[in-house]
Amino acid sequence: MTNKHDSPHRRHNPLTAEWVLVSPHRMTRPWQGQTETEVNTELPEYDSDCYLCPGNERTGGTLNPDYSGTFVFTNDFSALLEESPKPIDKDTNHAELFLSKEVSGTCRVICFSPNHRLTLPKMETSAILKVVRTWIAQTCELGETYRWVQIFENKGEAMGCSNPHPHGQVWATNVLPTEAEKEQLSQKQYYEKHGKPLLYSYAQSEIELGNRVIEQNSSWLAVVPYWATWPFEMLLLPLRATQRLSDLKPKEQEDLSEILKLVLTRYDNLFQTSFPYSMGWHGAPLKEQSPHWQLHAHFYPPLLRSAEVKKFMVGYELLAEAQRDLTPEQAAERLREQAVLHYSQYS
Ligand code: H2U
Ligand code: ZN
């Protein structure tokens, strides 16, 4: 049966004001992607060579404490400095084409667990809750000094992650970075027009339509967004108008750890592999009145067909615009089909 989404079309991302080309006819053939089972990647609970394991030495000689739960430290190779020198290009004759700006900030690493072999979906919900609370604490603490606190996780070698030990990062800056600036502008314009946050209205509509929903609980909604560029991209949204992580109530924090466990397990089960992705939180700039902002997390996983076949954002994507094959609706359906028991526990 053909439907209106079967032919090439473009979809608009209202958050970034960018377009994506959807070419679903390339995927109308039956699904034949292999699901390759992970080749023996059983890791030890403790690795004496890991710079994130408890008690081990990091580059520079600092010893990690014998931590339980989460552990946060300042990145030994921080991309930002708290005190930044003024920019060098001050040649006023050429200022327009050689513009630079000072930036100050700090980078930290967040260890999710002392157990080297775990990942978020393999952790107990109570342990994921500790990660959620650490994200909130970091947002509050760094938000005292910085305007933007970017919490993120690179998971898996495919996303350039240097170490399998479960960890994420936080980079805080005195300025809004480019993605934040785009979302700030679109959300402001939408709020001025409609008097509601863009992503609040969007979540309501997705619940009504249902075909892109992956998971929902009493506080959260996980969807493959209508404008997804990555094959199994996901957007995680609170159901209540919520500006930042630090606004989450205890029940919403618990619900968040539960929905994370479920959707990340679905991710792993899809190709029976530890699903790589980059994820991160976007919320209102700290200490600013921002009723137009709605807190959300983006998940950008690169895999397309199997544990081995990933989507490359190259040629057309780099030079023209993002393009995808399977529709977001098909991706959501495939994720909904997955079991919520982790494949490593199948008997
Ligand atoms: P990724 O695996 O996502 O790259 O994160 C690991 C971070 O840990 C990376 O930013 C830091 C790297 O700079 N790091 C330390 O701070 N100390 C070390 O001893 C090694 C790695
Ligand atoms: Zn480790």
- Is the dihedral angle over the CA atoms 298, 302, 304, 307 positive or is it negative? negative
- Percent of the chain having pLDDT more than 90? 80
Ligand 1 mutation target, pool 56, 72, 76, 78, most atoms within 8 A of CB: 76
Pocket flag, ligand 1, residue 163 (CB < 6 Å): yes
Residue 5 pLDDT grade (very low, low, confident, very high; cuts 50, 70, 90): low
Cα(56) to ligand 2 centroid in Å equals 9
What is the 167 CA–ligand 2 centroid distance (Å)?
A: 9
How many other β-carbons are positioned within 10 Å of the β-carbon of residue 326?
A: 22
**Structure pTM?**
0.94
For residue 24, what are the contacts with CB-CB under 8 A and spacing of at least 6?
Answer: 5, 6, 7, 8, 325, 326, 327, 330
Contact predicate 78/70, CB 8 Å: no
Please indicate whether residue 58, judged by its CB atom, sits closer than 6 Å to ligand 1. Answer: yes
| Token reading at 286 | 């700290």
CA-nearest residue for atom 1, ligand 1, is 161
User: Which residue type, as a one-letter code, is found at position 228?
Assistant: A
Nearest atom within ligand 1 for CA of residue 58: 19
Residue type, 279: M
Ligand nearest to the CA of 52: 2
Average pLDDT value for residue range 239-244 = 97
> With bands split at pLDDT 50, 70 and 90, how would you rate the model's confidence at 36?
very low
DSSP string, 187-212: HHHHHHHHSS-HHHHHHHHHHHH-TT
One-letter amino acid of 94: H
Are 304 and 296 in contact by the 8 Å Cβ rule? The answer is: no
Q: Which ligand is nearest to the CA of 280?
A: 1
167 is an active site residue? yes
**Residue 7, SS3?**
coil
Mean pLDDT, residues 161-171: 94
Residue 215: C-alpha distances to residues 133, 219, 255, 293 (Å): 22, 11, 12, 22
Per-residue pLDDT tens digits for 102-113:
999 999 999 999
Across 279-302, average pLDDT: 96
Ligand 1: which of 169, 171, 300 to mutate, judged by most atoms within 8 Å of the beta carbon?
Answer: 169
How many Cα atoms within 13 Å fall on the side-chain side of residue 259?
25
Find the 238 Cα to ligand 2 centroid distance in Å: 32
Nearest atom within ligand 1 for CA of residue 62 = 19
Q: Is the pLDDT of residue 318 over 50?
A: yes
The pLDDT of residue 34? 44
What CA–CA distance (Å, rounded) separates 65 from 71? 8
Query: Nearest CA to 277 among 285, 269, 286, 268?
Result: 268
Ligand 1 contact, 82 CB (< 6 A)? no
Judged by its nearest atom, the ligand closest to the C-alpha of residue 157 is 1
pLDDT band at 28 (very low <50, low <70, confident <90, very high): low
Q: Where are the alpha helices (DSSP H) in the chain?
A: 125-143, 178-194, 198-209, 250-270, 315-319, 328-337
Contact 167, 154 (CB under 8 A): no
User: Do 274 and 156 form a contact (C-beta atoms < 8 A)?
Assistant: yes
Buried b (16+ CB within 10 A) or exposed e, 177-189: eeebebbbebbee
Residue for token digits 């993002």? 322
The active-site residue, picked from 116, 165, 167, 292, is 167
Query: In degrees, to the nearest 5, what angle opens at C-alpha 337 toward C-alphas 333 and 341?
Result: 140
* Nearest protein CA to atom 6 of ligand 1, as residue: 162
How many whole angstroms from 195 Cα to the centroid of ligand 2?
A: 47
pLDDT averaged over every residue in the chain: 92
CA of 340 from ligand 1 middle (Å) equals: 31
Strands (E), 87-185: 105-111, 148-155, 167-173
Find the farthest-apart pair of alpha carbons in the chain and give their distance in angstroms, rounded.
71
Residue to substitute in 77, 106, 152, 170 for testing ligand 1 pocket (most ligand atoms within 8 angstroms of CB): 77
Q: Is 278 in the pocket of ligand 1 (CB under 6 A)?
A: no
